[in-house]
Structure 1
Amino acid sequence: MTKSGTQDIDDFIYLISHDVRASVRALLELPQWIAEDLEEAGIKVEGSVAQSIDLMNRHTGRLDRMLVDLLTYSRIGRMQDIREIDVGAALAEVCDTMQLPSGFTLTQDIECGPLRIGERDILTLLTALLSNAVKHHDKVQGHIVVTAQTCDDMVILSVSDNGPGIEEEMHPRIFGAMTTLRPRDEVEGSGMGLANVRKIAEFYGGDARVGPSIYGRGCTIEVRLPRIGAAGPTGK
């Protein structure tokens, strides 16, 4: 597909997701308003009615997250400043925003220079990688290791965890859009996190891959991006 064709698709995704999300936000608020009106009228919200309202909230919340991630996907490489970004500083910002669960520890070893990348894209990339490691973990305690090193003309950014890992036959699927390896009732998510990771990597002339974890248990998601001066965004 040509660059202009890809941009047209991204524009379409952006416009549709933006407009639909306005309606979804209303659907998120309506069940709460209905419950409040019933309670003010002296009608206790319980039983099947409470369950139905909760189900509406969960499904509309899931749809809203999906639209947010689609908006993010459509804006990769666009609508932001592309400049030199310090990876360590970006990781610290993501950790402050995410607030990892109390049972998780994070070790980092950042030994690379700055990347030339969109200021929003680097945050999206790191957030998706850390969220993936936490969300799919099967224990309340976990370890995550983030490393970034320069190798020839590439910066290799990797995130390893000690979770359940990913079956090898599933490796080709994990970077696909709308892909979840477990039912959405078990793991909340739109299935767009690693799709965003791959798109970011490829836009800037790199790639993304999955491999074994340094712990033996779990997995490593590795993103390779050109170091400054090696190559520029491909725009694909």
Structure 2
Amino acid sequence: MIESQEKCQEELIALKKEYEDFVYIVSHDIKTPMRAIVNIATWIEDDLGANVDQDILDNFSLLKNRVGRLENMMNALLELSHVNRTKMELFEVSIPKLVNDCIEMLGDKTNLEFHISYNLIDEKCITLGKKLEKVIYSLLHNAIQFNDKEKKNVSIEVSENEMDFEITISDDGPGIPEEVKSKIFSIFYTVSSKDVVDSTGAGLAICDKILKMVGGTIQYTPGLNGGSVFKFNWPKTITINN
């Protein structure tokens, strides 16, 4: 029985490595022809000169946009497959500073208001700082990107207990329909069409995988007055679950 379990575990590890190697090779090998397609399209545009029909230029623009989207999806797939292999350094972070750094990374914050509250015993901890930053940034980015309001509000609540940090990020956007909320952590799934909101749909899948790896959890609930609420716990003691 023990030998059978050990064999199954070995086969599982081998399959996971084979999958990760496959994703790595495919992601890299596809990038070269994708870039070639964009370059060739640009050269053809240049060769056509200034008197080309606008419809033709629009089609070239659409072609390059779709290739760019495919490349972004390949990059996201590669990042997802390497969650437990990159940026695994433990170092001391200040939770409030990390939150502020993520907000600064968002770029243009016109018509955007943040409401932040902390209930911390000690704002500093030693953890996988880059992974925690990735989760917070991705949730903030989602809260803004899919918000249809002219003035957007995002709330960030951080609390601490004996075992972990609990971080809640909520927004006043359109929320997520009840019938699709079970799909939101699936790779490449987006509630809105990718033609409406230019997104790979990989952010929540990557967040979910990071949190499973460190022994945390993430859950979505609809806001009381609309919008979305994402709450996750980040353990103080990191246990790597591959």
What is the TM-score normalised by the length of structure 1? 0.86
> Judging changes above 3 Å, is the alpha-carbon distance between structure 1 residues 8 and 223 closer, same or farther for their aligned structure 2 residues?
farther
The amino acid of 1:47's aligned partner reads Q
Alignment of 1:86-97 (within 5 A): 86-97=94-105
Count of residue pairs the alignment pairs up: 228
Question: In the alignment, is residue 216 of structure 1 matched against residue 225 of structure 2?
Answer: yes
Aligned to 1:114: 125
Show CA shifts across 1:5-63 (max 9, x none).
Answer: 33432332122112212322232333223222322xxx423322112111102211211
> Judging changes above 3 Å, is the alpha-carbon distance between structure 1 residues 171 and 65 closer, same or farther for their aligned structure 2 residues?
same
Aligned to 1:161: 171
Separation in 2 of the partners of 1:23 and 1:91? Answer: 38
Separation in 1 of the partners of 2:214 and 2:184? Answer: 20
Aligned to 2:78: 71
Show CA shifts across 1:126-165 (max 9, x none).
Answer: 2321121112111221011122221331211221100011
Separation in 2 of the partners of 1:55 and 1:186? Answer: 14
Separation in 1 of the partners of 2:95 and 2:17? Answer: 27
Question: In the alignment, is residue 82 of structure 1 matched against residue 92 of structure 2?
Answer: no
The amino acid of 1:172's aligned partner reads S
The amino acid of 2:69's aligned partner reads R
SS in 1 for 2:137: helix
Separation in 1 of the partners of 2:176 and 2:27? Answer: 30
Separation in 1 of the partners of 2:31 and 2:39? Answer: 13
Aligned to 1:27: 37
SS in 2 for 1:114: strand
Aligned to 2:5: none
Separation in 2 of the partners of 1:87 and 1:136? Answer: 25
Question: In the alignment, is residue 188 of structure 1 matched against residue 198 of structure 2?
Answer: yes
What is the TM-score normalised by the length of structure 2? 0.84
The amino acid of 1:103's aligned partner reads N
Contact 1:87–1:115, Cα closer than 8 Å, also in 2? no
SS in 2 for 1:185: coil
The amino acid of 2:233's aligned partner reads R
Q: Which has the higher contact order (CA 8 A, sep 6+)?
A: 1
Show CA shifts across 1:45-98 (max 9, x none).
Answer: 332211211110221121121112112112212122421333333333333332
Aligned to 2:4: none
Separation in 1 of the partners of 2:103 and 2:34? Answer: 29
Aligned to 1:105: 113
Structure 2: runs of 5 or more not aligned: 1-8
SS in 1 for 2:229: strand
Show CA shifts across 1:153-190 (max 9, x none).
Answer: 12112211000111233221111112111211111111
Separation in 2 of the partners of 1:17 and 1:205? Answer: 28
Alignment partner of 2:51 out of 44, 47, 61 = 44
Aligned to 2:3: none
The amino acid of 2:227's aligned partner reads G
Contact 1:210–1:221, Cα closer than 8 Å, also in 2? yes
Alignment partner of 2:61 out of 44, 54, 58 = 54
Identity %: 23
> Judging changes above 3 Å, is the alpha-carbon distance between structure 1 residues 102 and 33 closer, same or farther for their aligned structure 2 residues?
farther
SS in 2 for 1:180: coil
Contact 1:77–1:118, Cα closer than 8 Å, also in 2? no
